[in-house]
Structure 1
């Protein structure tokens, strides 16, 4: 029995990776494909119920996923968009909690308001993974993507704090709204301080180790250290992880090149695996959720689910347009009188990007079974059902229509940004190469150097100096041929392939040891990676 159980556990990541790989090949958003696959698999006879363990999600999955997202985010861009990110990650979450809780309390007979607010806090935070993957593929403007990422980094902290306050009220722990506000303030400030306190020493430790594997191992431990330290003092582990991740990611440029190469590859693999498993698990939750409400009226359940989903979506649009247009109409912003109106298309895209994810389900499963008096928690099964249907509806309804919405609204702006980036890169490459050549000239003047070595280095610097400018032509010259940089990369890749084949043949002929082969292939791989264009 134990072996069979272990095989089923192994089947989850295997199926998740297979579906995710297929989705990447077919250019389908992997989170959506995984959720659908999980739903289909849950109906297969003999498949056991995979009930989501909230502690497993919150303590094992969430820290590395949040840390990686923060690590790869731009601190500068997030700082520049501080106001919209705060309005979404704090203001919108609290507004959604109240809106969903109040409406569902009115619609569902006998549902206590504190319990309805528990549901509101659970479904309040969107998970931007699916939305961002689609947005980047379809070329949404960078600012829109930054706002979605920033929202997803911080909104979990607000929602989980609101969830704990609502649960305390529902279980009779005697919390007031003032207590809740104080608890939220403490959790946010203390979590931020813990992230800031842990960031600098971890960074100094990593830069002094001089061992790429150990340096990246420290980065693996960092999110768990931040999360558990914050949770131990009842602060926000989410904010602690995000702040430490932003700090370490911002200072990652000070690490050696090989450390950055290993770290970049490692985190891409970890995130790909964890996200694949998480979204498959969402779909697999259907049987236990349906079993919990099997005694209720299905027409009533369908109506309540529709209301919860509709209010969750509408509340996001109401908040977005209210905080964008009302201050302008009231003359409270600098835009008044300048004829500058917010981009309504960007607001529609951000509004429709509010897909919910595994954090909502983990919070729902974390609802206690009893109150402080020992009585069963009121309508726990209903809250779990409405959470699942809201998460599923946002992922499928919004997720499947999100690409079409972007195309219809013509909200993309990546082509213009790509051209601007290329121009900026060309200017920076020119300045950097000029600095490198100047330094080479200084060294050549002060030392007796081989002229062939100096000329080779000068040629390499000049080639790098011209490459970004050539990219402005799209990789071709007016006559239809390749630009020199493209020719150089193509020929050098062919040369590297020939070198690699020779090394492998010599290994097969027992003229080269596998340890030597691994070392020389690693050097070739690094050079080939440097030839790749993102």
Structure 2
């Protein structure tokens, strides 16, 4: 009953926040904190395995399905820097400072457990804000890619740190080998399951069943990988990439249906997660009282850890990407006659990528982010569901049966860091984006129009090729005038759907029309995907054009069915 109330309340608050133009995540957290102190309210408590195995997989899978793998590879350098290196730096920085200051008596092992818990940012809020305000596409790609892999790095480090404190053993004792094993095997399990999903989907030919199968895929990938001690996170991401790249195998009805199902599920789960964060404040305070921990000491330690988490990201981003910015600045100084470019337009017009040689590393985008983009990336460090789940997963006892040292303190600090980053960074990120003039502008609109025109040219050229082949190899047994009429009807597509022959009727004219119409759509979709993967057309423009083709096919099919 409590869970149902939380879900309903979170949906209501989300609707009100959208109506008022506010950030739902912030309003939900604040409302949850206030609700946790209502008399008689019982905070719902979920096992950490439920949070990881039920909440996380669909969120990751949805992001991966809608994110092209070639785009991930093009931005692999900043993604790995933020998703792996920065997670490790943050964890060890928190551990070193927490153990050194001795505000709360944590050993280095216990402090490393805390560091691993608070290290991975949850980019859900940052990506949602960036998409609404219109961040540069490269920044969006970096933030999305980071969110897909940073959880895996943090959870591996967490398991190693917990094993060290409890005196138990991990599956593989060497941390580097453990991470390599979990990453490679997890990715392999996810890829195999993704291809299996596509193989099954080809034989279903039922939009409802295909959608249900898609909903099952992330949970299956996560559980299968975890059962062989691999990374369930990377298994879900790999499965999402495979299913997303093979989405053209499904019919337009399945794609349209899945799009709305996943969007709805994302809204529901994100609202629940932020409500769960807010509602846990009183629960955390009760645990501290039962453990007889000093609220003052824990509050001071939480403030210090929050400061470390917030500051270490900008410092690390500057260290990782600063040399690129300095090189960019020196290049501009060396060419004073060149017209000044904004950070955004510079990234959009200067392409320093090497020519494609067929090797995957030749596709890596080596263009630096502008300093404005780096500032936004460095401030997008809100914590979320993985931090909560990892905190709840801290064992109650060690291998010897003793209580886990300062478990309640670690969980309280993790909760404070999660709420603090959501309220501090989440509230100021939109203002920062606007002040840096990275929100929608005339230049952005022009750039988007250019990408849309590119996508339209790709679609037109693909159709022209199919028509040329149709003209050169006409089907037998049908009048040339009828063939020409069919070609013009297909070219006009949905505008003249009432004049089109029914694909379900068994006349030769109808069969030729249906075959040509479907071949044009197939070629257009395949050409769009190819140009996207080559980096010739922006992913957002390709996705929008694919949506238009699906809606166009749906409109034509619906009008034909009504006419029949």
TM-score bin (small chain): 0.7 to 0.9
Q: 1:453 to 1:29 in 2, by over 3 A?
A: farther
Q: Which residue of 198, 202, 206 maps to 1:207?
A: 202
Contact 2:493–2:556 (8 Å) recurs in 1? no
1:82-113 deviation per Cα after TM superposition (whole angstroms, max 9, x unaligned): 11111111111111110111111122242111
Matched, 1:432 2:469: no
CA distance in 2, matches of 1:282, 1:367: 17
1:74: which partner in 2? 68
Structure 1 runs not aligned, ≥5 long: 1-5, 466-522
Contact 2:57–2:222 (8 Å) recurs in 1? yes
1:212-234 deviation per Cα after TM superposition (whole angstroms, max 9, x unaligned): 22222221221122111111111
1:389: which partner in 2? 416
1:173-232 deviation per Cα after TM superposition (whole angstroms, max 9, x unaligned): 267996222211211111112122222222111112222222222212211221111111
1:273: which partner in 2? 268
1:495-515 deviation per Cα after TM superposition (whole angstroms, max 9, x unaligned): xxxxxxxxxxxxxxxxxxxxx
Which structure 2 residues correspond to residues 297-312 of structure 1 after superposition, within 5 A? 297-312=294-309
- Cα offset for 1:420? 2.4
CA distance in 1, matches of 2:477, 2:458: 28
CA distance in 2, matches of 1:129, 1:162: 22
Q: Which residue of 164, 167, 183 maps to 1:188?
A: 183
Contact 1:20–1:30 (8 Å) recurs in 2? yes
Which structure 2 residues correspond to residues 392-471 of structure 1 after superposition, within 5 A? 392-412=419-439, 414-438=444-468, 441=471, 446-448=476-478, 455=485, 458=488, 461=491
Which structure 2 residues correspond to residues 63-102 of structure 1 after superposition, within 5 A? 63-102=57-96
1:91-148 deviation per Cα after TM superposition (whole angstroms, max 9, x unaligned): 1111111011111112224211111110100011111111111001111001100110
Q: Which residue of 44, 69, 84 maps to 2:38?
A: 44
CA distance in 1, matches of 2:477, 2:557: 33
Matched, 1:61 2:83: no
Q: 1:293 to 1:254 in 2, by over 3 A?
A: same
- Cα offset for 1:284? 0.8
1:348: which partner in 2? 375
Q: Secondary structure at the match of 2:174?
A: helix
1:198: which partner in 2? 193
Q: Which residue of 530, 536, 555 maps to 1:527?
A: 555
CA distance in 2, matches of 1:245, 1:232: 19
Contact 2:56–2:385 (8 Å) recurs in 1? no
Q: 1:135 to 1:38 in 2, by over 3 A?
A: same
1:418-464 deviation per Cα after TM superposition (whole angstroms, max 9, x unaligned): 12212212312321342354456457785535968954762662588
Contact 2:86–2:316 (8 Å) recurs in 1? yes
Q: Secondary structure at the match of 2:253?
A: helix
Q: Secondary structure at the match of 1:448?
A: coil
- Cα offset for 1:25? 2.6
CA distance in 2, matches of 1:380, 1:435: 65
Matched, 1:241 2:269: no
Contact 1:141–1:417 (8 Å) recurs in 2? no
CA distance in 2, matches of 1:190, 1:138: 38
- Cα offset for 1:157? 0.6
Contact 1:94–1:124 (8 Å) recurs in 2? yes
1:349-386 deviation per Cα after TM superposition (whole angstroms, max 9, x unaligned): 00111110011011101101111111111111111111
Q: Which residue of 201, 212, 215 maps to 1:217?
A: 212
Q: 1:432 to 1:438 in 2, by over 3 A?
A: same
CA distance in 1, matches of 2:95, 2:7: 35
Q: 1:201 to 1:49 in 2, by over 3 A?
A: closer
CA distance in 1, matches of 2:412, 2:377: 26
1:51-87 deviation per Cα after TM superposition (whole angstroms, max 9, x unaligned): 2421111111111111111111111111101111111
- Cα offset for 1:412? 3.7
Structure 2 runs not aligned, ≥5 long: 336-366, 496-550, 560-564
TM-score between both structures, scaled by the size of structure 2: 0.76
Q: 1:341 to 1:148 in 2, by over 3 A?
A: closer
Q: Secondary structure at the match of 1:184?
A: helix
TM-score between both structures, scaled by the size of structure 1: 0.80
1:34: which partner in 2? 28
- Cα offset for 1:11? 1.1
Matched, 1:20 2:30: no
Contact 1:433–1:462 (8 Å) recurs in 2? no
Q: 1:246 to 1:335 in 2, by over 3 A?
A: farther
2:139: which partner in 1? 144
Contact 2:35–2:279 (8 Å) recurs in 1? yes
Contact 1:169–1:175 (8 Å) recurs in 2? no
CA distance in 2, matches of 1:354, 1:44: 30
**Paired residues, number:** 465
2:351: which partner in 1? none
Matched, 1:120 2:115: yes
1:378: which partner in 2? 405
Aligned-pair Cα RMSD in Å: 3.0
Which structure 2 residues correspond to residues 349-364 of structure 1 after superposition, within 5 A? 349-364=376-391
